[in-house]
């Protein structure tokens, strides 16, 4: 199925199975359900320089084939994250990938400097694709010029750290944007973040979410994510991590066959927390069968 270890920049992960940013919170929340130390890595909740309260109103809505979310990058901020959340995740034996918010330039540069001063972080993922915020996120990820600035700034301030760029699917040529990230210094890309969606209350005729649109994840977006990984992997030299709608070992195999070096599991852990370890077992079994 795949080799166990994967290398991204200067960092080697022991297997290609990773928890995606968001559903697992800061990681420790799932310690009773998933053997975090068995995973290749855990991508943390996206962190901003200062604490964020997130969006008002309803934040989650289950759909027949997925989940709409409008959380809005709620998080405790850099000081509390690096002081309490990250040390706890490390105590549990997990390999952290710290997800960073790409907000206003000044705060973003300060956030990168904070990361630079923390020697326990050797790998970050730039959230260039969140659709649920006004500043940064998808607004950055749809612009080649902004992508170049945000990625190259991270590369300059975090030399030697493994750098992932998480891409939005809400564009015409996602592979072209992956090339921009590669040229700006990214060591790998994650594809994809959520698709834009919405729902309406039929009784009031008004949108369910205060921001009107939200991000759709889950099985419904798997074919879109698979196509993105296939296109990107044929045009870049850096590793691609596939993320979006993975709900089974078979799904994971499809992403690896499409060119993904590894896979990220998100929404599925809400109802099937055993999935990541089953995929690891399948990878391990396939590898042993080749020896």
pLDDT mean across residues, the chain: 94
pLDDT of 65 over the 70 cut: yes
* Dihedral angle computed from the Cα positions of residues 116, 120, 122 and 126, in that order, rounded to the nearest 10 degrees: -60
Please identify every residue annotated as catalytic.
130
pLDDT at 9 over 80: yes
- Residue 35 CA to residue 24 CA, distance in Å, equals 13
How far apart (Å, rounded) are the C-alpha atoms in residues 97 and 221?
23
**Structure confidence at residue 1 as a pLDDT band (50, 70, 90):** very low
At residue 165 the predicted structure's pLDDT band, cuts being 50, 70 and 90, is very high
* Single pTM value for the model: 0.95
Judged against a pLDDT cut of 70, whether residue 286 lies above it is answered with no
**pLDDT for 27:** 97
All domains of the chain, ordered by start, with CATH? 6-54+74-194+218-290 (3.20.20.70)
Q: Are 85 and 79 in contact (CB under 8 A)?
A: no
Cross-strand bridge partners of residue 68: 61, 216
CA–CA distance, 80 with 57 (Å, rounded to integer):
25
Tokens 């068995």, located at residue? 38
Q: Looking at residue 290, what is its pLDDT?
A: 46
Residue 284: its pLDDT value, please? 76
Backbone angles phi, psi at 154, to 5 degrees: -65, -40
Binned at pLDDT 50, 70 and 90, residue 3 comes out as: low
Strands (E), 93-210: 96-101, 123-127, 162-166, 188-191, 195-197, 200-201, 206-207
- Predicted confidence band of residue 98 (pLDDT cuts 50, 70, 90): very high
Most distant CA pair in the chain, distance: 62
């Amino acid at each position: 199925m795949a080799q166990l270890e994967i290398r991204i920049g200067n960092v080697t992960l022991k297997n290609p199975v990773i928890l995606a940013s968001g559903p697992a919170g800061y990681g420790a929340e799932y310690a009773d359900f998933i053997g975090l130390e068995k995973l290749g890595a855990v991508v943390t909740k996206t962190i901003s320089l200062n604490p964020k309260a997130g969006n008002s109103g309803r934040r989650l809505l289950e759909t027949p084939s997925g989940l709409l979310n409008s959380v809005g990058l709620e998080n405790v901020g850099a000081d509390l994250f690096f002081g309490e959340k990250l040390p706890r995740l490390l105590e549990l034996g997990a390999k952290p990938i710290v997800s960073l918010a790409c907000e206003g330039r000044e705060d973003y540069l300060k956030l990168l400097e904070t990361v630079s001063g923390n020697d326990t972080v050797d790998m970050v993922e730039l959230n260039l694709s969140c659709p649920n915020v006004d500043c940064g996120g998808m607004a950055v990820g749809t612009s080649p010029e902004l992508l170049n600035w945000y990625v190259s700034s991270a590369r300059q301030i975090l030399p030697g750290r493994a750098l992932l760029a998480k891409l939005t699917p809400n564009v015409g040529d996602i592979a072209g944007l992956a090339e921009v990230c590669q040229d700006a210094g990214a060591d790998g890309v994650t594809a994809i973040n959520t698709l834009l969606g919405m729902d309406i209350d039929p009784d009031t005729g008004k949108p369910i979410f205060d921001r009107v649109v939200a991000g759709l994840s889950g099985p419904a977006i798997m074919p879109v994510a698979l196509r993105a990984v296939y296109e990107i992997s044929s045009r870049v030299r850096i590793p691609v991590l596939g993320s979006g709608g993975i709900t089974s070992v078979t799904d994971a195999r499809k992403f690896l066959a499409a060119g993904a070096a590894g896979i990220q599991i998100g929404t599925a852990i809400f109802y099937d927390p055993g999935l990541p370890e089953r995929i690891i077992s399948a990878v391990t079994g396939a590898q042993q069968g080749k020896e």
